[in-house]
Amino acid sequence: MRILALVPGGIGDQILFFPTLDSLKRLYPNAYIDVVVEPRSKGAYRVSKFFHDKSLQVLPFDFKDRNGMADWGNLLGIMRDREYDAVISLGQRWVVGLLLWLTGIPIRISYSDLGNSWLLTNPVPLKTEQYAAGMYHDLLQGFGVSIPCPELSVTLLKEDLRWSDDEQQRLGVKDSGYILIHGGASQLSQIKGLDKIYPVEKWQQIIQDLQTRQPLPVVLIQGPEDKPLCDQLVRSCPGIKVTSPPDVGKLAATIAAANLMLCTDSAPMHLAVAVQTYTIALFGPTDQAKLLPPGDRYIGIQSSTGRIADISPEKVLEKVWGG
């Protein structure tokens, strides 16, 4: 059996799709599964438990680009040539439904509430008022099964764990433990106008309180787009340390070793959930109930105004010290 999954979105969306992929592999252990993702998200599969599984292939396609007919035609050609038995799609654009219909794949599964149900063979109700991983997992109902959604999880490679150990030694936090902070967000989310960056001066208040009241060092995660924010925090908060994991696997290993993760709604937040690190996450316009699972280890702080800057440092510190 050959199964195709179309999973547009960032690294966080791929992490949230992992439970669905896990269930697919358990339901169809001998199936070959291809996953089509945006190029920026391909690296997420480094922490998939199926990273070395030759029956899983990750194919890049930039769903967000201004694709012309030739681009969609090339993707359609790939989908036809591989003679898939079934396709599931997380895409919520009508053009994706049309693409599925044009492939002629016998079993075509996506959400039914998008106005293109007639293009699908097995439409599934779209239930947005739930944790996103569960919403994605609902698509398996298109195969005639209804099973609980597994917890978010990732698999860490030995080389990534070794890198994290060496990095902790370099930072001088191997024996003490550390609090990890990620205050940034992807450039794409900023382009979309999503308010996900907590102001530097408020992070500064939180970090200074942490440094005063507890002995654990504070470590900042600096991703490719986080340098301006990190530079400002380093200047204003002497003593904090900075780490720049070069890929998702090493980032996940760094998060797994932390005592506490403070972050905004971002891919590192989903990794923190997947490695079960105690996490406090800040939400502005996005809904914490849809992006954090229930549980005592994951605390969301939702802005009452929809602006992440309106969350007070005192509110964050109250969660840190009071739980």
* DSSP codes of every residue in 114-125: GS-GGG-SS-B-
Same domain? For 240 and 112 the reply is no
β-bridge pairing 32-37 and 56-60: parallel
pLDDT of residue 75: 85
Same domain? For 295 and 241 the reply is yes
- The tens place of each residue's pLDDT in the chain, 323 residues long, gives 999 999 999 999 999 999 999 999 999 999 999 999 999 999 999 999 999 999 999 999 887 766 667 777 888 888 888 899 999 999 766 677 788 888 889 999 999 866 677 889 999 999 999 999 999 999 999 999 999 999 999 999 999 999 999 999 999 999 999 999 998 765 555 555 566 789 999 999 999 999 998 889 999 999 888 888 899 999 988 889 999 999 999 999 999 999 999 999 999 999 999 999 999 999 999 999 999 998 899 999 999 999 999 999 999 999 999 85
Tell me if residue 241 falls in helix, strand or coil.
strand
What span, in angstroms and rounded, lies between the C-alpha atoms of 316 and 323?
A: 10
Asked whether the CA dihedral 31, 75, 192, 198 is positive or negative, the reply is positive
Same domain? For 51 and 186 the reply is no
Same domain? For 93 and 204 the reply is no
End-to-end CA distance of the chain: 48
What b/e readout covers 19-56, taking b as 16+ CB neighbours within 10 angstroms? Answer: bbbbbbbeebeeebbbbbbbeebbbbbbbbebeeeeeb
Burial bucket for residue 178 (CB in 10 Å: 0-12, 13-18, 19+): buried
Domain closes at, from 143, 177, 199: 143
Which residues constitute the domain of residue 102? 2-143
In a domain, 149, yes or no: no
In a domain, 150, yes or no: no
pLDDT of residue 193: 56
Same domain? For 12 and 62 the reply is yes
Same domain? For 123 and 223 the reply is no
Same domain? For 162 and 31 the reply is no
pLDDT of residue 220: 96
Domain closes at, from 113, 143, 173: 143
pLDDT of residue 5: 96
pLDDT of residue 40: 92
Asked whether the CA dihedral 179, 254, 186, 323 is positive or negative, the reply is negative
In a domain, 286, yes or no: yes
Same domain? For 173 and 311 the reply is yes
pLDDT of residue 242: 96
User: Which residue shows structure tokens 């293109």?
Assistant: 116
β-bridge pairing 279-283 and 218-221: unpaired
In a domain, 152, yes or no: no
Same domain? For 92 and 181 the reply is no
What span, in angstroms and rounded, lies between the C-alpha atoms of 285 and 216?
A: 31
Burial bucket for residue 141 (CB in 10 Å: 0-12, 13-18, 19+): middle
In a domain, 277, yes or no: yes
User: Which residue shows structure tokens 């008022």?
Assistant: 129
- The domain that holds 113 is classified in CATH as 3.40.50.2000
Reported as type and span, the H/E element at residue 109 is strand 107-109
In a domain, 153, yes or no: no
Same domain? For 22 and 123 the reply is yes
What is the identity of the amino acid at 323? G
Structural domains in the chain (count): 2
Domain closes at, from 143, 173, 196: 143
From 126, 124, 69, 125, select the one nearest 102 (Cα to Cα). Answer: 69
Same domain? For 211 and 135 the reply is no
In a domain, 148, yes or no: no
Asked whether the CA dihedral 282, 284, 289, 292 is positive or negative, the reply is negative
Same domain? For 139 and 162 the reply is no
In a domain, 88, yes or no: yes
